[in-house]
Chain A
Amino acid sequence: MAEQTTLFEYLLRLGDNALILGHRLSEWCGHSPALEEDLALSNVALDLIGQTQLWLNLAGEIEGKGRDADKLAYLRDAREFRNVLLVEQPNGDFAATMARQFYFDAWHYLLLRELSGSKDGRIAEIAAKGLKEVTYHLERSRDWVLRLGDGTEESHRRMQAAIDDLWMFTGELFESDEVDEAMVREGIGPDLAALHEPWLGLVRATLEEATLTVPQPGWAQRGGKRGIHSEHLGYILADLQFLQRAYPNATW
């Protein structure tokens, strides 16, 4: 039974990352720099919402208390959310959105690649499907880091500021706790620390090509995976959960 709880916790992390980042990206719809970006950002958001449904439905199944993806997404409070701090950071300008996306996509890609070989067939299946989508997400966000980093003086300045600002939220991606360790032991999930080198390699190569400076290692903000979030998450949930909270037990 303890194992099921651990697996549930692990799946919440995967689902909540996709849910919160998808939500953030959906905020851009209609406000982006060009119509093409409204289309592209919405595509990424839609992929992430789809992944959310798969992860959270599986989480609900494992939990066995009759909660599905919607119940988990719409009826938990902030302290029960398990996403990393990076994905809940505000959209900021387009550079901040793309820096956040690139950091996350690079990690997400590596994680899903490992998870698609998971011993748990259900997880492997969702990861393999997600990996196809995230391969494209990474290509796109990497491309924007290049274009903005090596574009104009202004775009370079903005991209460097975004890269520096968000750096402190990347450390949490590679830190393991007892949940991650249990997943490694059971062959379900990868050792997160082992993803750090390939991630850093990808980030370094991209930032250098974009004429940007790689931030120095420093203090990492952490807590999202244990439910200790930034102030931003509460507002995301206030929007996301409004109707379900205002009209309990209604179907939509």
Chain B
Amino acid sequence: MYAQMVKTGIDHIQSKEEMSPEERAFQDRVDADIKIEPKEWMPEAYRKTLIRQISQHAHSEIIGMQPEGNWITRAPTLERKAILLAKVQDEAGHGLYLYCAAETLGVSRDELLEQLNSGKAKYSSIFNYPTLTWADIGAIGWLVDGAAIMNQVPLQRCSYGPYSRAMIRICKEESFHQRQGYDIMMKLAKGTPEQKAMAQDALNRWWWPSLMMFGPSDADSVHSAQSMRWKIKINSNDELRQKFVDQTVPQAEYLGLTVPDADLKWNAERGHYDFGAVNWDEFYQVIAGNGPCNRQRLRTRVKAYEEGRWVREAADAYAAKKAARAQARAA
């Protein structure tokens, strides 16, 4: 997802008997769907896991601005340009809400950005793929935002109050993003033969990386089990992936496009689509930094941050001077 394979730092799920009275009271609140708020007691592992998860999500929003930003200056009409710019702007906004949500857990935005810039923090594997044609902007909106929504809609109900509220705001905008992506694909699919080929090519390249977004099967993962118990993860990776395939295949059919999977078939017995094996080697390579754009994405981010340093310093210096002058006048 936008957060993939988040570690919890634990090695087994505690039974209620093993828990301290505080831990038990905490788990009871979570079980009763009572939101946890920043000032309340929480297990250290819960706090740390949430920081990892929320910051990974925030970093994904910020890095995600690059592949789409790549087409802002080349959008084909004034309206498309305005919509794309507004969308990428929304992503900056999502990054902001999420960094704010993470800050309620006692970590600053600067610290988190430092972790991103140093390569220590992860972001979603999907943003390490290049946007080669205009159709990729459609495919990202349709598939990538579509996959993100699958995960984020249930997270609106997650146990941590600030994260849940950030998700509610973000989901409203994401569904608009997905619609605009599908709308781009629709125009291309109903357009000239070249446009249709462009749409098919984008689907071919983005389909499998989109399925990878959900992460490898976590049926046996102790981290996922713990996160689900804490209600900061609601569904398993396989469940969400299946749901995404089931929802997306008919949309592709409606567009007249072919999903690039020879094994894709409706299974009436299961009431779901069967689909082929995901290339997890590729996924692990991308996660390890060897995707087509990992280095480029990180370099671009670091460059913006470093080149902006003098601006941020100037803004701070000016604010300090202004405050000092106001104080001097008051004295």
Binding site for B on A (CB under 8 A): 19, 23, 26-27, 29-39, 42-43, 45-46, 49-50, 52-53, 69-70, 73-74, 93-94, 146-148, 150-152, 154-155, 158, 239-240, 242-244, 247, 249-252
Contacts and interface: CB of A to CB of B under 8 A. Distances in A.
Given A29-B65, A244-B76, A250-B192, A148 B311 contact: yes
Determine the main DSSP class of A at the interface with B.
helix
Given A29-B88, A247-B195, A69 B311 contact: no
A26 B65 contact: no
Contacts of B79: 53, 70
A185 B66 CA distance: 49
B79 to A, nearest CB: 8
B121 interface: no
A91 B187 CA distance: 33
Interface string B292-331: 0000000010011001111111110111010000000000
B36 interface: no
Given A42-B85, A247-B195, A154 B308 contact: no
B77 interface: yes
B310 A154 contact: yes
Given A53-B79, A70-B79, A243-B75, 12 more contacts: A30-B65, A30-B69, A30-B300, A33-B304, A33-B308, A38-B65, A42-B86, A43-B89, A151-B315, A152-B317, A244-B76, A251-B187
A232 to B, nearest CB: 13
A35 B92 contact: yes
B107 interface: no
Interface residues of B, number: 48
B255 interface: no
A247 B194 contact: yes
Interface of B: 62, 65-66, 69, 72-82, 85-86, 88-89, 92-93, 95-96, 99, 134, 184, 187-188, 191-192, 194-195, 300, 303-304, 307-315, 317-319, 321
B76, B82, B314: residue with the most chain A Cβ atoms closer than 10 Å: B314
A150 B304 contact: no
Contacts of A45: 85
Given A32-B308, A42-B92, A243 B76 contact: yes
Contacts of A50: 82
Contacts of B76: 74, 243-244, 252
A146 B317 CA distance: 11
